[in-house]
């Protein structure tokens, strides 16, 4: 589901070049996430526009699809020491 959303965002973005083809691959099974590499090609002058627009689109589309982002969590256990 996530990979299909990433592919759709990249292929539909007007500033992403068709050739060479973008790279979208599952890269790593992390502790609490599945990490993807997403590398679209764009003209140098369009780099930051593509970067920011794709990043925003991924967040919006993942939210709409119910895909959440894992955030680091730390549990703190407090114990009372009896003297």
Beta bridge partners of 39: 23
Within 10 A of 56 (CB to CB), how many other CB atoms are there?
11
Domain residues of the chain, as ranges?
A: 1-35
Rounded to whole angstroms, how far apart are CA atoms 35 and 71? 13
pTM across the whole model: 0.77
Beta bridge partners of 29: 34
Residue pLDDT, tens place only, 30-77: 888 889 999 999 999 999 999 999 999 999 999 999 988 777 778 899
Nearest in space to 59 (alpha carbons), one of 1, 5, 12, 4: 5
Beta bridge partners of 74: none
């Amino acid at each position: 589901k996530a990979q299909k959303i990433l592919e759709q965002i990249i292929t539909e973005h007007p500033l992403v070049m068709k050739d060479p083809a973008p790279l979208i691959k599952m890269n790593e099974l992390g502790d609490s996430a599945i990490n993807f590499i997403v590398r679209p090609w764009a003209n140098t002058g369009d780099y930051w526009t593509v970067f920011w627009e794709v990043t925003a689109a991924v967040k919006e589309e993942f939210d709409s699809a119910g895909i959440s982002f894992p955030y680091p969590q730390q549990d703190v256990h407090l114990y009372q020491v009896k003297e």
